[in-house]
Amino acid sequence: MSETQIKLEDLSVDFDGRFRLDDITWAITPGQQWLIAGANGSGKSALAAVLAGEGDHISGTLVGLPGNVALVSYERQAELIAAELRKDDADILDVISEGTPVSEIIAEVCLDDALAQELVATLGLKPLTDRAFRKLSTGETRKVMLIRALTSRPELLVLDEPFDGLDHDSLEWLQGHLAALAETVPMVLVLNRFDECPDFITHIAYVDGGQLLHQVDRSDEQSLAELHQLIHLKTSELDVPAADPAMALPSLNPDEPLVQLSKATVRYTDNTVFENLDWTIDANEHWQVSGPNGSGKTCLLSLITGDHPQCYVNDIRVFGFQRGTGESIWQIKQYIGYVSTALQWEYRVGTSLRNVIISGFYDSIGLYTKSTDTQKAIADDWLHVLGMAGRSDEPFTGLSFGEQRLALIARAMVKHPPLLILDEPCLGLDDMNRQLVLALIERICRSGNTTVLYVNHRLEDAIPGIENHLALG
């Protein structure tokens, strides 16, 4: 195995203007075997391609790449097929080409004939060696690509979705072969399915939005669990669980905005927090509210919820109610899910994770009503969405800070409120847990049932799906 470290430092790479990796800092040390993980379109394949010398370097450095890097990817597969199809161009050839046979495609890069013959037989390609490469099926083409890579004596093996399209026997063989090869050849694998990660992988790189956001040592159990949860939230096709039909909220007038503030002003004797604020929040219209400390973000929320004494001296309509016309605070709050750091500090009762989520049906801190089987099932569905299935009986107080925040967001969402207010939901979270929370909010925004009012002071924490922005201060 190579004793040279591969090092990328502040590396930005452009791929024909279609995609860009930015500020990648990463070191592959001898003895390490890496998996690149992330959602579709995150940049996994681009990062793998960089290791094979592809892309235009904009800035930064890449050192230590060995001379022989073998890459198996859909892009390389497509390039080979395209090259074969070009041979049919009548402007170039007098006769239609039959195409390059499989045996020649393999021989182009093969440095180990004995291994090539073994792999051809093992992968069931022996009857196909005289067939034109371009006439193979997708799975057969992938096998040829793997044989080319494995017989080229690579000093670094980069495999982008190597298990896709393989039949059961071929998949089982490849997994075993790679495990044995890992003792002598450094590898980087790209996989969409985290559960396919081979045992020999020692480290995981998580990519999102063209940036390398996390590098996790697989022996770090806590970081690995958090990364697994993040990948689950970002890549799984999960729906927001159904509401409890027995606790359906009274219907709202679809022609009314959820919230309407007209010339709203909050003023104290020696301080005006904000004044003459006009703001309308319509159903399914998500908002991000940002601003520096003291700009009035939390104050604005309390006007909406009715917790601020000046809400009754302002012109505010909430869910069709005109503030100060006799509505009760609970008539308003039944339509709101609310999460804040202050709530998390208050929620210190000794109860299970499942009961915390169920308590959202009753807007209580703790659960003091016997829950139904339907509510328990809905809570368990939420735990599945959060990547915490099987942990329903764990005590809430024993969870990490980030896991508690996720559970409280599920608690706020369990009754499918028309308005979900998230007041600085990432406050106090480390980077991994911050992205977990952002991923959950993004999923809720896509659900189409709840309007999200997301309050923070960092524009870089913008969430796809939240297209409206109110800046205070």
CB neighbours of residue 356 within 10 Å: 26
pLDDT of residue 50: 97
CA dihedral 43, 44, 50, 55 (to 10 degrees): -30
pLDDT of residue 90: 46
Judge whether residue 250 has pLDDT over 70: yes
pLDDT of residue 259: 95
Q: Which residue has the higher pLDDT, 388 or 326?
A: 388
pLDDT tens-digit series, residues 445-464: 988 789 999 998 776 778 88
Token look-up 């689950």 returns: 232
Tokens of 8: 């990328």
Q: For the chain, what is the mean pLDDT?
A: 88
Q: Which of 21-25, 82-86, 189-193, 310-314 has the lowest mean pLDDT?
A: 82-86
Tokens of 442: 């993004």
Alpha helices in 128-210 (DSSP H): 138-150, 168-181
Q: Does 6-235 match 245-471 in CATH topology?
A: yes
Q: What is the pTM of this model?
A: 0.75
Judge whether residue 413 has pLDDT over 70: yes
Confirm if 223 and 213 have CB atoms less than 8 A apart.
no
Task: Give 47's pLDDT tier (boundaries 50, 70, 90).
Answer: very high
Judge whether residue 103 has pLDDT over 90: yes
Confirm if 280 and 260 have CB atoms less than 8 A apart.
yes
Give dist(CA 84, CA 63) in Å, integer: 33
pLDDT tens-digit series, residues 55-97: 999 999 999 999 999 999 988 887 888 888 777 654 455 555 6
Judge whether residue 292 has pLDDT over 50: yes
Closest CA to 80 of 140, 126, 125, 124: 140
CATH of domain 6-235: 3.40.50.300
Options 3.40.50.970, 3.40.50.300, 3.90.1150.10, 3.30.43.10; CATH for 245-471 is 3.40.50.300
Task: Give 392's pLDDT tier (boundaries 50, 70, 90).
Answer: very high
pLDDT of residue 91: 47
Q: Which residues contact 407 (CB under 8 A, 6 or more apart)?
A: 353, 356, 357, 386, 388, 396, 399
pLDDT of residue 111: 95
Give dist(CA 466, CA 469) in Å, integer: 8
Closest CA to 420 of 455, 450, 442, 457: 450
Q: Which residue has the higher pLDDT, 96 or 232?
A: 232
pLDDT of residue 117: 95
pLDDT of residue 349: 82
Angstrom CA distances, 473 to 275, 289, 292, 365, stand at 11, 11, 7, 33
β-strand pairing of 287-290 with 468-471: parallel
Angle between helices 431-447 and 221-235 (to 10 degrees): 20
Q: Which residues contact 309 (CB under 8 A, 6 or more apart)?
A: none
pLDDT of residue 1: 60
Judge whether residue 149 has pLDDT over 50: yes
Question: Can you name the residues that pair with 471 across neighbouring β-strands?
Answer: 290
The domain limits of the chain are 6-235, 245-471
pLDDT of residue 95: 57
Q: Which residue has the higher pLDDT, 148 or 369?
A: 148
Give dist(CA 353, CA 392) in Å, integer: 5
Give dist(CA 217, CA 203) in Å, integer: 5
pLDDT tens-digit series, residues 305-354: 888 888 888 999 999 888 777 777 778 888 999 998 888 888 888 899 99
Angle at 202 between CA 197 and CA 206, to 5 degrees: 65
Closest CA to 455 of 422, 426, 428, 433: 422
Judge whether residue 436 has pLDDT over 90: no
Give dist(CA 350, CA 407) in Å, integer: 14
Give dist(CA 388, CA 400) in Å, integer: 12
Judge whether residue 125 has pLDDT over 60: yes
Question: Can you name the residues that pair with 454 across neighbouring β-strands?
Answer: 288, 422
Task: Give 18's pLDDT tier (boundaries 50, 70, 90).
Answer: confident
Angstrom CA distances, 201 to 26, 180, 194, 219, 288, stand at 16, 12, 12, 10, 39
Confirm if 134 and 81 have CB atoms less than 8 A apart.
yes
Q: How far is CA 59 from the centre of its chain?
A: 26
Q: What percent of the chain clears pLDDT 90, i.e. is strictly above it?
A: 49
